[in-house]
Amino acid sequence: MKRPMTPYGYALLRQELLRLKAMRPELANAIEVARALGDLSENADYDAAKERSGMIEAKIRDIEAKLANCDVIDPRERGEIGEKVLFGTMIMIEDIDSGEQRTITIVGADESDTTRNFISLESPFGRAFIGKAVGEVAKVHAPGGAKEYEILSVHVVDWELEVRRIQA
């Protein structure tokens, strides 16, 4: 099953994949240098170089699998712009109890990042908002208990602009 991803998330993963693949010659060289140091059975440098290479190769395979199994979605291209919360939209919400306001963006699981307020579509928080409109209240069921948030605004993100920013 294909997993949704924004164009921005896709571009970030592609960039990371290229960076990791560019490390391959350096890793191979480190293994060769360590191998030249002698007995491989007691060669900590060789073991460390092989382990690092293995971890990088595992990351490469993981990213390649994510890219192969994603469905890049830009709501603007699908004509899904409106007042409803959709995948790839940024929303301003207000906690009904505290009055605290914050802005979040609904993204795919592989690109969620709470430090940037990128919330996974698959999380309880993300699922609670999908399909809701401005003015509606979403009830979020989380381990800490249920909370209610009013949707104050819905904004469509210009994902192509975001992609250009990271490529610059």
pLDDT digits (tens, 9 = 90+) for 33-80: 887 877 666 778 888 888 999 999 999 999 999 999 999 998 777 665
Two structure tokens written together for 18? 């290229």
Q: How far is C-alpha 121 from the geometric centre of its chain's CA atoms? A: 11
Taking residues 14-28, what's their average pLDDT?
95
pTM of the model: 0.84
Which of 88, 94, 153 lies closest to 121, judged by CA?
A: 88
At residue 123, the pLDDT reads 93
Q: Please determine, for residue 31, whether its predicted confidence score (pLDDT) is greater than 80.
A: yes
Between 41 and 149, the more confident residue is: 149
- 95 DSSP β-pair partners: 149
At residue 78, the pLDDT reads 67
Reported as type and span, the H/E element at residue 58 is helix 44-68
At residue 77, the pLDDT reads 76
Which of 108, 94, 93, 100 lies closest to 159, judged by CA?
A: 108
Taking residues 89-100, what's their average pLDDT?
95
At residue 91, the pLDDT reads 95
Report the alpha-carbon angle 139-142-145, nearest 5.
80
Domains assigned to the chain: 3-72 (1.10.287.180), 89-157 (3.10.50.30)
Q: What is the C-alpha to C-alpha distance for residues 123 and 125, in angstroms, rounded to an integer?
A: 5
Q: Angle 7-22/24-35 helices, nearest 10 degrees?
A: 30
pLDDT band at 81 (very low <50, low <70, confident <90, very high): low
